[in-house]
Amino acid sequence: MTQNPVHKTFFLLRAHSKINYQFCKLISLAGKAWNQRHIEICRVFTTQSGRMNRLAKCKVIFEWALSLLVLCFVLSSPKIAVAADIGNCLLCHKYPGLSRIEGDKGIFRLLYVNEKTFNSSMHAKVKCEGCHTDIKKIPHDPAKKVDCLTQCHIIEPSSEQKFSHKDVAQFLENSVHGKLDETKQLKKFPEDRPTCKKCHDNPLYRPVSLNKTMMPGISDQSIGRCRVCHKKDEFIYRFYNHVTTRLRRSRNPKNITEVCIRCHDDINLVKRHGMSIKAVATYKESFHGKAAEFLDERIPDCLDCHVNRGESVHQMLSAKNTLSSTHENNKYKTCSNIECHPKATPRLAQFKVHAEFSKTQDPKRYYFESAFIILTGGTLLPLLGIMLLDSIRRLFPTLSRRRKK
């Protein structure tokens, strides 16, 4: 269906009118019905053309006329002449209406790429075809899934090799999240071997407002220091940002937990791997997690504890692994990180960072916390009662239950 020329022009028509997203969605819903109708018409048109009813005939003629009209418009428009240029993807994809309804379930798929968001994204310097390598002609065929390990045209200066994310894949492979288990067999369940896109869901397609939580580089003010010698602002911004966004994490601790929560609080996955806790829920219960909720960026997130200092964040290891930063013998070294608890002793590391509020897991803490809840409730509730009664008396000083004589 997607290759039908009528269909294609329909989308182009919508793409070129400046209708907003919501409106487009409405049309798309109508388009869904239209689509089904369209399939019928196509069938009639190709196999049973002799028995086509008048309405269908009119519709087909109308559609072809419309398509021709649009095609003329498209071909005569000077801008579109550039469309032959493969690189100019945004020519079409910058229109918020570019979308289609897919499959039997009628999934609405937005194919619009926000130019501004893209240009301020991590991959702004990569050409569209750098990732969408299979798109070689316009109009193009349905695209294949993007492979994050594709070599791109950018040359990494220190090795002069074409750049790719292969190293990251290697780190990931050596970590708990790799594709193979201890016996070097492919892990059975797909959710046990997270792919790049699973953790890095493309921010391009997130609502723009979400991008605002990304932390900027060190400080825009210090850019003035580069201007002393470098003259072009574009060069300065590009390299300054390239370096500074890597000096610290671009996500705050809260965002990081959102990456892990999908799997690590999934009760099926937790059970299947014999993990004792829902990692994110228990982190959120802890002091660290509470501070992270308030966007305190000094607080350790999952990566600060689970990645050895100076290693790729992808190289997380099981606590059972003797090389792991969370292994029994290494834990206190992790806590005594200069930015955290410099005076930490092995005793501090006995503290359970992922303790659950449960009787079986940690009875001592359970009774301690329960006692606190009872104490707090026991003091506050009577106090509230007294305040309520007091307010009633103040509001209605003459109120009395006894009948006046």
Tell me the window of 22-30, 62-70, 245-253, 390-398 that interacts with ligand HEC (CB under 6 A): 245-253
Q: Map residues 328-367 to x or -, x wherever contact with ligand HEC holds by CB under 6 A.
A: ---x--------------------xxx-------------
Instruction: Determine, following the binding rule CB under 6 A, whether residue 131 of this chain makes contact with ligand HEC.
Output: yes
Q: Map residues 291-320 to x or -, x wherever contact with ligand HEC holds by CB under 6 A.
A: ---------xxxx-xx-----xxx-x-xx-
Window 101-130: residues binding ligand HEC (CB under 6 A) = 109-111, 113, 118, 123, 126, 128-130
Question: Which residue number, 52 or 152, has a Cβ lying nearer to ligand HEC?
Answer: 152
CA distances from 33 to 13, 28, 281, 290 (A): 18, 9, 43, 48
Instruction: Determine, following the binding rule CB under 6 A, whether residue 218 of this chain makes contact with ligand HEC.
Output: no
Question: Which residue number, 290 or 352, has a Cβ lying nearer to ligand HEC?
Answer: 352
- The binder of ligand HEC chosen from 32, 198, 341, 365 (CB under 6 A): 198
Window 132-161: residues binding ligand HEC (CB under 6 A) = 132, 135, 138-140, 142-143, 145-146, 148
Shortest Å, Cβ 288 to ligand HEC: 5
CA distances from 259 to 202, 252, 367 (A): 12, 11, 32
- The binder of ligand HEC chosen from 225, 290, 309, 393 (CB under 6 A): 225
Window 25-84: residues binding ligand HEC (CB under 6 A) = 83
Question: Which residue number, 44 or 292, has a Cβ lying nearer to ligand HEC?
Answer: 292
Shortest Å, Cβ 25 to ligand HEC: 14
Instruction: Determine, following the binding rule CB under 6 A, whether residue 275 of this chain makes contact with ligand HEC.
Output: yes
- The binder of ligand HEC chosen from 25, 32, 179, 249 (CB under 6 A): 249
Question: Which residue number, 51 or 364, has a Cβ lying nearer to ligand HEC?
Answer: 364
